[in-house]
C-alpha cells in the first residue's frame, strides 16, 4: 500500500533529512529558502489564477513576483507581504475545481502523499506546465523542484509534532491522513459552511444532537 510506502519514506529518509536540515539552518535561513520556493511558484499561480478567470489575483501574484524579485533579493525576502500584498497560492487542482471537475476518489500518491483524482491531475499538470520548467533549460529548470523539496523539509521540521502524531501515534494513520487532508483541502477550495454536504460521511455541520 502506498500509505505504508510513504510512511517508510518519511521514517527512514524524509524525517531524518528534515531534522538534519532544521538543525543545520536557523529559522531565518529556512524562512529565506521557504520564501524563495514560494516565489518560484508565483508564475504558476499567475497562470492558474488566469485560467480560473480571477484576473485580480493573477495581477496580484504577478505584482508580488516583480516586487520580491527586485526588492526581495530574488525572492529570498518577502517584501511584498510586508507591503500588504498578500499571497494567494493556487494550483491546477483548484483550476479544475473552478471548471466544475468533481473531486473524485481519495488517493495517496507516492512521495507526495494525500490527494484526490482531481488533485493528482492538477499536480501532474502543474509540474509539466510550470513556467519555470517550460522556459528554462537544464539545470536552471530544476531550481524550482529543489526549492520545493527544501521547503517541504522545512515544513516537516516545523510541524514535526503534528505530523508525528498523525503518522505514528494514531490508531489508523491512513484514515487520519485522509480525513484531515480532505477536510482541509475542501476548506482551501472554499467549499465552506453548509455546502460541505458533498460527503455525508463527514459533514462538519451535521448536527450530532440529532443522533442522540
Partner 1 sequence: MTTSELNRRRFLTAISGATLCAALPTSVLALNDAQAKKLIDKAVVDINKVIASGKSINAMIKDFERIFVKYGDVPIIARSALGPDARNLSKSQINAYTNAFQGYIARKYGKRFNEFVGGKINVGGSRKVKSFFEVKTTVKLRGQAPFEVNFLVSDRSGKSKFFDMIIEGISLRLSEKAEIGAMLDKRKGDINGLIADLKKAG
Least Cβ distance, residue 195 to partner 1 (angstroms) = 11
Between 51 and 107, whose beta carbon lies closer to partner 1? 107
Q: Is 187 in the site for partner 1 (CB under 8 A)?
A: yes
Contact 182, 196 (CB under 8 A): no
Among candidate residues 13, 41, 67, the one with its CA nearest the CA of residue 130: 41
Q: Kindly state the cell numbers that stand for 178.
A: 485522509
Q: Kindly state the cell numbers that stand for 154.
A: 522545512
Pick the binder of partner 1 from 13, 175, 195, 198 (CB under 8 A): 175
Span 134-173, contacts to partner 1 by CB under 8 A: 161-162, 165, 169-172
Count of residues binding partner 1 (CB under 8 A)? 30
Q: Is 207 in the site for partner 1 (CB under 8 A)?
A: yes
Q: Kindly state the cell numbers that stand for 188.
A: 482551501
Stretch that binds partner 1, among 46-54, 103-111, 129-137, 201-209 (CB under 8 A): 201-209
Contact 85, 63 (CB under 8 A): yes
Q: Kindly state the cell numbers that stand for 199.
A: 460527503
Q: Kindly state the cell numbers that stand for 139.
A: 539545470
Q: Which helix or strand (DSSP H or E) is residue 116 part of? A: strand 113-116
Which whole-number Å values give the CA distances from 180 to 16, 81, 142, 174, 196, in the listed order? 24, 28, 31, 10, 14
Pick the binder of partner 1 from 27, 53, 66, 128 (CB under 8 A): 27
Stretch that binds partner 1, among 11-19, 91-99, 137-145, 191-199 (CB under 8 A): 191-199
Least Cβ distance, residue 193 to partner 1 (angstroms) = 7
Binding site for partner 1 (CB under 8 A): 27, 161-162, 165, 169-172, 175-176, 178-180, 183-188, 192-194, 202, 204-205, 207-209, 211-212
Amino acid at each position: 500500500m502506498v500509505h505504508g510506502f510513504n510512511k517508510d519514506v518519511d521514517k527512514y529518509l524524509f524525517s531524518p533529512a528534515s531534522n538534519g536540515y532544521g538543525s543545520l539552518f536557523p529559522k531565518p535561513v529556512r524562512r529565506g529558502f521557504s520564501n524563495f520556493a514560494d516565489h518560484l511558484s508565483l508564475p504558476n499561480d499567475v497562470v492558474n489564477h488566469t485560467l480560473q478567470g480571477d484576473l485580480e489575483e493573477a495581477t496580484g501574484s504577478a505584482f508580488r513576483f516583480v516586487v520580491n524579485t527586485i526588492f526581495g533579493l530574488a525572492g529570498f525576502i518577502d517584501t511584498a507581504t510586508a507591503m500588504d500584498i498578500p499571497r494567494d497560492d493556487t494550483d491546477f487542482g483548484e483550476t479544475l475545481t473552478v471548471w466544475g471537475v468533481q473531486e473524485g476518489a481519495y488517493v495517496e500518491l507516492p512521495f507526495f502523499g494525500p490527494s484526490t483524482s482531481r488533485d493528482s491531475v492538477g499536480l501532474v499538470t502543474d509540474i509539466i506546465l510550470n513556467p519555470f520548467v517550460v522556459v528554462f533549460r537544464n539545470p536552471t529548470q530544476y531550481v524550482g523542484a529543489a526549492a520545493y523539496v527544501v521547503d517541504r523539509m522545512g515544513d516537516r521540521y516545523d510541524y514535526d509534532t503534528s505530523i508525528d502524531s498523525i503518522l505514528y501515534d494514531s490508531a489508523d494513520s491512513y484514515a487520519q491522513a485522509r480525513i484531515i487532508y480532505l477536510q482541509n483541502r475542501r476548506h482551501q477550495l472554499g467549499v465552506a459552511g453548509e455546502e460541505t454536504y458533498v460527503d455525508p460521511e463527514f459533514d462538519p455541520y451535521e448536527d450530532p444532537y440529532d443522533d442522540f
